[in-house]
């Protein structure tokens, strides 16, 4: 009966979480006339029906509405509180996100966060999707004189693109990049008129492009399979579908689509005696199912399984969250003989400890020789790894490691796993069991991350900094929004002309801190993420090894009212390092 119940459980879960060719998805659209004109949700529904899918939707789109309006509107809140939505689409007023960052931080970002928090409080499985709109055909004429970046379509559109991506990133949400699809069409198919005569609202072709983008973003299907044409000619339809595929479907990572789906992953420890401990490394999952390939199953996150016989078993882990699933299968070798893992390396000697320039490891039991050694710091980073064959004695050079605590991981010939902790400066605790090591490691890791990722250490940045020369003036302004974000801007002016404008932020995401600059004229206006790699009270280093230039950004605070920053990295003309020295003019803690 146990076997039968397990099989029924597996079958039920697979049926529940499998994604069929035809899908039914429930979506609430909250926006304004950019959503309401031409009844965008209905066009998305017609597209879905033409592909044997079903969109069940509701919408609320008063003209000119902002996210702040929706947050204070009883109708909007009542629709959110229904709680049966797969997606809630949020569209901000068409001009607001492109305004100066200080205004956006007050009028846009807080309400995006409040609505997203409410959506997730009502139903944690509902995904917030931000509707990225587009720049007006010839820019925002009404605000051009007071905010020159929006004087053109290109400037306004790039700011909208940046701000919607920021909202999605900050709220673990997704983007339907309609504005980016429009941009691709404008650049590549200029004969397609996306605007109405007011040069702002969408034409029939503009709404169809938006609907194709939403269908692809929500149903995650190739837009070129869409058969519904909304009464448009075949050439226009084909161009719009190709633009959607190129911009959205082939580039989902940029819009965070699928970023929060479960990802199944695991490792295992084989102690012999037919016993295997499985370590679940899945991401974004809440429930699990293990198929041990021997007729047994488990829904425990980290099971210890006793196989009846030794051999090779293809063990599969299924990870689930909110109707999405992922699986991974690994061939596991089960051993019938072995010794207790707690005693597997009791004849191994690690010395000296404390250590300075080297550590020696000796093994007095040749038949249990060590095959691999790793040194791991308290952040879980592997600093040294070597496959050492069957040596009974070897030395590790440790002089290059900074003072602190480290773990040595030793693997024997039969994959018995033994961990000892050593300190370059403090006393070794030797022969810890794996469980004790795991608990110690997690505790050290959490404490280390907390110290490293506390945004309060950046509080000295708050205020206005300036450097003025005969050539021009540079101003950098920083404000703290909440416990997980600082935002700022950097402006270089020559007389009354703005030569350079950059938006910058410090944000905490998934336990890590990122320095995020974005410049309209670089990287298509998209933000670039530099991860914090080292920090102290007066110096911070951020790095992005994949970026061209710079690869490293460093901020230092030599004294209270002085800021010295530099950027560095390789260029076509050699390695380059640029310094920026500023003094505080406003603020300070």
For the ranges 156-160, 405-409, 495-499, the lowest mean pLDDT is seen at 495-499
Give the C-alpha separation, 77 to 56, whole Å: 19
Topology classification of domain 24-255: Rossmann fold (3.40.50)
Place of tokens 């004087």: 151
Give the C-alpha separation, 248 to 124, whole Å: 25
Per-position b or e across 110-132, b if 16+ CB within 10 A of its CB: bbbbebbebbbebbeebbbbbbb
Give the C-alpha separation, 301 to 288, whole Å: 6
Kindly tell me if the per-residue pLDDT of 372 is higher than 90: no
Choices 2.40.37.10, 2.115.10.20, 3.20.20.150, 2.60.40.10: CATH for 266-334: 2.60.40.10
Q: Tell me what pLDDT residue 10 has.
A: 44
3-state SS class at 217: helix
- Which of 82, 92, 96, 97 is CA-nearest to residue 28? 82
DSSP 70-94: HHT-HHHHHHHTT---SEEEE---S
DSSP E strands in 415-472: the ranges are 417-423, 429-432, 463-468
Give the C-alpha separation, 523 to 516, whole Å: 13
CATH 2.60.40.3080 given to domain 348-451: yes
Q: Which two tokens stand for residue 191?
A: 């004969």
Give the C-alpha separation, 112 to 426, whole Å: 49
Give the C-alpha separation, 494 to 500, whole Å: 10
pLDDT digits (tens, 9 = 90+) for 410-422: 766 554 444 443 3
Q: Which residues contact 537 (CB under 8 A, 6 or more apart)?
A: 457
Q: Tell me what pLDDT residue 90 has.
A: 99
Domains 266-334 and 456-586 share a fold: no
Contact 469, 454 (CB under 8 A): no
pLDDT digits (tens, 9 = 90+) for 496-531: 566 777 888 888 887 789 999 887 667 666 788 999
Domain extents for the chain? Answer: 24-255, 266-334, 348-451, 456-586
For the ranges 154-158, 179-183, 342-346, 540-544, the lowest mean pLDDT is seen at 342-346
Partner residues linked to 150 by β-bridges? none
Residue 283 carries which DSSP code? B
Give the C-alpha separation, 565 to 116, whole Å: 35
pLDDT digits (tens, 9 = 90+) for 381-393: 677 888 776 666 7
Task: Using the Cα atoms of residue 16, residue 17, residue 23 and residue 25 in order, give the sign of their dihedral.
Answer: positive
pLDDT digits (tens, 9 = 90+) for 12-55: 444 443 344 688 999 999 999 999 999 999 999 999 999 999 99
pTM for the full model? 0.65
Q: Tell me what pLDDT residue 520 has.
A: 63
Task: Using the Cα atoms of residue 213, residue 217, residue 219 and residue 221 in order, give the sign of their dihedral.
Answer: positive
Could you report how far apart the first and last alpha carbons of the chain are, in Å? 68
DSSP 95-106: SGGGS-HHHHHH
Crossing angle between the packed helical segments 153-170 and 109-122, to the nearest 10 degrees: 40
What is the three-state SS of 457-500? HHHHHCEEEEEECCCCEEEEEEEEEECCEEEEEEEEEECCEEEE
Q: Which residues contact 540 (CB under 8 A, 6 or more apart)?
A: 457, 458, 515, 532, 534, 554, 555, 556
Topology classification of domain 456-586: Lipocalin (2.40.128)
In terms of Cβ atoms closer than 10 Å to its own Cβ (0-12, 13-18, 19+), residue 571 is exposed
């Amino acid at each position: 009966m146990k076997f039968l119940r397990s099989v029924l459980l597996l079958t039920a879960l697979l049926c529940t979480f499998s994604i069929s060719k035809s899908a039914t998805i429930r979506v609430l659209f909250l926006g304004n006339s950019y959503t309401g004109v031409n009844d965008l949700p209905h066009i998305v529904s017609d597209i879905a029906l033409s592909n044997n899918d079903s969109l069940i939707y509701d919408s609320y789109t008063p003209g000119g509405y902002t996210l702040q309006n929706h947050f204070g509107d009883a109708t909007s809140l009542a629709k959110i509180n229904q709680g049966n939505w797969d997606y809630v689409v949020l569209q901000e007023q068409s001009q607001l996100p492109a305004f100066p960052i200080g205004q956006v931080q007050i009028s846009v970002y807080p309400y995006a966060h409040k609505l997203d928090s409410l959506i997730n409080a009502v139903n944690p499985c509902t995904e917030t999707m931000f509707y990225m709109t587009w720049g007006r055909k010839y820019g925002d004429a009404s605000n051009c004189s007071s905010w020159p970046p929006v004087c053109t379509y290109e400037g306004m559109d790039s700011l909208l693109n940046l701000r919607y991506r920021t909202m999605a990133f900050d709220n673990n949400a997704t983007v339907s990049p309609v504005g980016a699809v429009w941009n691709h069409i404008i650049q590549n198919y200029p004969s397609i008129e996306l605007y109405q005569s007011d040069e702002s609202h969408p034409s029939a072709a503009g709404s169809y492009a938006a609907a194709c983008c939403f269908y692809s973003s929500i149903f995650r299907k190739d837009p070129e399979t869409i058969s519904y044409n909304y009464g448009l000619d075949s050439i226009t339809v084909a161009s719009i579908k190709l633009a959607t595929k190129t911009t959205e479907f082939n580039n989902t990572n940029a819009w965070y689509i699928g970023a929060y789906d479960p990802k199944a992953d695991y490792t295992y420890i084989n102690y012999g005696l037919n016993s295997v401990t499985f370590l679940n490394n899945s991401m974004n999952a809440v429930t699990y199912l293990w198929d041990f390939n021997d007729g047994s199953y488990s829904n425990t996150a980290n099971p210890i399984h006793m196989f009846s016989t030794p051999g090779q078993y293809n063990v599969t882990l299924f990870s689930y969250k909110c109707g999405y699933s992922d699986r991974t299968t690994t061939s596991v070798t089960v051993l019938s003989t072995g010794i207790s893992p707690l005693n597997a390396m009791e004849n191994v000697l690690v010395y000296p400890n404390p250590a300075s320039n080297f550590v020696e490891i000796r093994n007095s039991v040749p038949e249990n020789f060590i095959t691999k050694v790793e040194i791991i710091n308290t952040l879980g980073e592997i600093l040294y790894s070597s496959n050492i064959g069957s040596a009974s004695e070897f030395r590790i050079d440790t002089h290059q490691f900074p003072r602190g605590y480290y773990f040595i991981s030793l693997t024997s010939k039969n994959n018995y796993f033994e961990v000892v902790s050593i300190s370059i400066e403090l006393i070794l605790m030797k022969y810890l069991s794996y469980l004790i090591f795991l608990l110690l490691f997690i505790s050290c890791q959490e404490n280390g991350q907390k110290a490293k990722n506390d945004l309060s250490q950046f509080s000295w940045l708050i205020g206005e900094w300036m450097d003025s020369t005969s050539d021009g003036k540079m101003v950098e302004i920083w404000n703290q929004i909440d416990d997980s974000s600082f935002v700022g801007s950097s402006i270089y002016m020559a007389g009354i002309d703005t030569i350079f404008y950059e938006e910058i932020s410090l944000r905490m995401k998934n336990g890590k801190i990122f320095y995020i600059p974005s410049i309209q004229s670089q990287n298509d206006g998209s933000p670039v993420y530099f991860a914090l790699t080292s920090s102290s009270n007066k110096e911070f280093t951020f790095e992005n090894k994949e970026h061209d230039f710079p690869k490293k950004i460093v901020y230092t605070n030599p004294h209270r009212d002085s800021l010295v920053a530099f950027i560095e990295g390789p260029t076509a003309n050699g390695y380059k390092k640029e310094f920026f020295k500023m003094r505080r003019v406003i603020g300070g803690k």
